[in-house]
Structure 1
Amino acid sequence: MKGKILAVFILFSTIYGMACTDQPEPQNVDVQIISGENFGFCVGPCYRALNLNTSDTYLELEVRTRDSRGSDLADTMIYTDMFSMAELEALKEAIPDLETFFALEEVYGCPDCADGGSEFIEINDGLKTHRVTFEYGSSVKEIESIIELLRQKRQELIEKYEVY
C-alpha cells in the first residue's frame, strides 16, 4: 500500500513540476502605436498624432491647435480613418523587434530645438510603453522603416482632412 501511495505522489509531483517550468511567452504582436509630430512655438495645428492598434484597421489622427495667444489646446480634432489590409500588413512587417525598440534611447538629436519640431513613435505592447523622440524630418536607423511608413500615412491623412 505504501508503494502505491509513493508512486502516485511521485507521479503527481512530476506532473506538477513540469507544469510550473518557465515557458517563454510568445511576443505579443497586438500593439498600440502612436506616431506624431509636435512644434513648440507655433500657431494652428502644432501637434498631430496617428493612433492605431495593429489588430484593427481603424486609426485616428489627433490634431491639437494653438491660438495666436499661444494657448495650448485651443482646439482638438479627431479624424477617424482606415488602413487597407495591405497597409496593415506592411505596418506589421515594419514593426521592429520589441526588445530592440524598448532598448532604444528616449531622445535622439535635439528635437524641437529652435522650433525645428519633433517627431515621435510610442509603442505599448500591453506590458510596457516606450517613446522615442527625434528631430522633425530625421530618422532613427533601427526603426527607419516604421518611421517612414507612419509618416507617409500621417501626411496622407493631413492632406485628406486639410489639416494645415
Structure 2
Amino acid sequence: MKSVLILVLATFIFTACNSDDDTVEAGDYLIFGHFYGMCGGEECVEIFKLTDSKLYEDTNDNYTLDNLKFRELDQATFDKVKDFKNAIPEQLLTDETTVFGCPDCADGGGLYIQLS
C-alpha cells in the first residue's frame, strides 16, 4: 500500500507542471492521503501531514477524517515528499469547489488534500 501512495505522489509531482513559481509560505502545512470505505485493515485510511520541516502520519485511521492525531515520521521519509506541497496545481488552490467528483463512490476510494 505504501508503494501505491508513493505512486500517487509521484504522479501528482510529475503531472503538476506550472511555469509560475508558487511556493507555500512558512508555517503552512499540507494534509493528504487516501481513504477506502469498504476496506478492512490499517491501510484503508492513510493520512499524512507535511510541514516545511517534518512529515507526520495520522494514527487514528478514521474514515470520517475526524480527530486526526499525528506522529512524526523519520527524516528519510520526509525527504521523499518534502517538495510535494509545491507540486499541487494552482487550479486546485484557487477553485472554490471543495469536493471533486464522487470520492469513494462505487468503492473506488478517495484522495484527501487540505492545504493551510
TM-score by length of 2: 0.55
Contact 2:47 2:61 in 1 (8 A): no
How far has the Cα of 1:123 moved from its partner? 0.2
Contact 2:36 2:110 in 1 (8 A): yes
Following the alignment from structure 2 to structure 1, what is the Cα–Cα distance between the partners of residues 55 and 74? Answer: 5
Q: Hey, what does 2:50 align to over in structure 1?
A: 52
1:79–1:43 distance in 2 versus 1, CA, 3 Å: farther
Correspondence for 2:31 among 19, 29, 34: 34
1:100–1:112 distance in 2 versus 1, CA, 3 Å: closer
Higher relative contact order (CA 8 A, sep 6+): 2
Contact 1:62 1:79 in 2 (8 A): no
How far has the Cα of 1:61 moved from its partner? 1.7
1:100–1:119 distance in 2 versus 1, CA, 3 Å: closer
Following the alignment from structure 2 to structure 1, what is the Cα–Cα distance between the partners of residues 47 and 39? Answer: 16
Following the alignment from structure 2 to structure 1, what is the Cα–Cα distance between the partners of residues 25 and 70? Answer: 29
Amino acid at match of 2:47: A
Gaps of 5+ in 1: 1-26, 67-75, 125-164
CA RMSD across the alignment: 3.2
Following the alignment from structure 1 to structure 2, what is the Cα–Cα distance between the partners of residues 44 and 81? Answer: 23
How far has the Cα of 1:117 moved from its partner? 0.8
Figure out how many residues of one structure are paired with residues of the other and give that number: 85
User: 5 Å matches for 1:12-161?
Assistant: 29-30=25-26, 31-45=28-42, 46-54=44-52, 56=53, 58-65=54-61, 78=71, 80-82=73-75, 83-84=78-79, 87-88=81-82, 90-91=83-84, 93-97=86-90, 101-124=93-116
Superposed CA offset, 1:21-44 (max 9, x none): xxxxxx861221001111112221
TM-score by length of 1: 0.41
| More strand per residue | 1
Superposed CA offset, 1:71-97 (max 9, x none): xxxxx884522222x853x33542444
